[in-house]
């Protein structure tokens, strides 16, 4: 990504970009999962290494901060970088972001290239890392399955063609959850809501009433 004069990150390198930074798959997954937000900002100045940086973004009353730094080899080995990810704000928004990030990655980000060095730098074992990620993932999935059960219950009172269409979309929502595809799940639930003429379930908005909390993860990139 390019960095403008005001330290804003852009997906394409523009003529006024003063530097570039390299985002690994973990950072890219989190920015994608974070949803609509203001463009991420670079904190401080870049050094000689395009993989050593700190960026921040803000959305849904939640702040996301990612710090990239090497955990071995002084940045010479590109696979030996870690991302320290800090999220502060709505607890269920954080869980949902982590859930989607894991879906986008398709791998376990807590499994580093060099485990011993990674654990020494993070101050946390890989098993502890895995528990934090999996707990967030489970909490987000539980919320969506509760929404699915509620919609199934409501749709039971529908009749005729509406009931048949609801049944198809509800099955699609269930399959989407099994595939860990939250966006397909939301689209299916939204169609059911429209058929039943009730307020659509916006998973992001619905989760905004949760208590604030902080999650700190150190993830291998």
Other beta carbons within 10 angstroms of residue 112's beta carbon come to 25
Clarify whether residues 98 and 154 are in a common domain.
no
The size of the chain, in residues, is 221
Q: Where are the alpha helices (DSSP H) in 89-181?
A: 91-105, 115-122, 126-155, 160-178
Q: Report the sign of the C-alpha dihedral through residues 186, 191, 196, 198, in that order.
A: positive
| pLDDT value, residue 78 | 67
My answer on whether 104 and 173 are in the same domain is: no
Same-domain status, 30 and 101: yes
- Give me the residues paired with residue 89 across strands: 213
Q: Which residue has tokens 């463009």?
A: 39
- Structural domain including 165 reads 140-199
Asked if 111 and 28 sit in the same domain, the reply is yes
| Residue 22 pLDDT class (50, 70, 90 cuts) | confident
Average pLDDT, the chain: 82
Q: Which two tokens stand for residue 99?
A: 């859930």
Cα gap 57→65, rounded to integer Å:
7
For residue 25, the number of C-alpha atoms closer than 13 Å in the C-beta half-sphere is 12
Distance from C-alpha of 204 to C-alpha of 61, rounded to nearest angstrom = 11
**191-205 per-position pLDDT tens digit:** 998 888 764 444 434
Alpha-carbon gap, residue 193 to 186, rounded angstroms = 10
- Model pTM above 0.85: no
Question: Do 73 and 86 belong to one domain?
Answer: yes
Residue 204 in any domain: the answer is no
In a shared domain, residues 106 and 148:
no
Residues 7 and 67 in one domain: yes
Residue 205 maps to a domain: no
> What is the predicted pLDDT for the residue at 13?
58
What's the confidence (pLDDT) of residue 72? 73
Is it the case that residue 88 has pLDDT exceeding 50?
yes
- Which pLDDT value is given to residue 144? 95
Q: Which two tokens stand for residue 200?
A: 């659509």
**What is the per-residue pLDDT for 195?**
83
Q: Which 8-state DSSP code applies to residue 8?
A: B
């Amino acid at each position: 990504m390019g960095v403008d004069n005001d330290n804003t990150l852009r997906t394409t390198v523009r003529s006024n970009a003063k530097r570039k930074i390299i985002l690994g798959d973990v950072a890219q997954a989190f920015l994608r999962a974070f949803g609509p937000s203001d463009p991420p900002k670079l904190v401080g100045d870049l050094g000689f290494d395009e993989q050593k940086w700190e960026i921040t973004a803000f959305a849904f009353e939640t702040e996301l901060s990612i710090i990239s730094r090497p955990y071995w080899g002084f940045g010479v080995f590109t696979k030996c970088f870690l991302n320290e990810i800090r999220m502060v704000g709505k607890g269920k928004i954080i869980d949902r972001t982590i859930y989607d990030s894991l879906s986008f990655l398709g791998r376990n980000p807590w499994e580093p290239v060099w485990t011993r060095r990674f654990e020494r730098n993070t101050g946390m074992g890989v098993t502890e890392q895995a528990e934090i990620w999996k707990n967030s993932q489970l909490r987000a999935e539980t919320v969506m399955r509760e929404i699915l059960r509620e919609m199934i219950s409501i749709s039971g009172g529908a009749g005729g063609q509406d009931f048949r269409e609801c049944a198809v979309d509800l099955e699609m929502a269930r399959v989407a959850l099994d595939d860990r595809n939250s966006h397909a799940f939301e689209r299916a639930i939204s169609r059911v809501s429209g058929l039943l003429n009730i307020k659509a379930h916006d998973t992001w908005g619905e989760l905004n009433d949760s208590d604030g909390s902080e999650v700190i993860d150190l993830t291998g990139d």
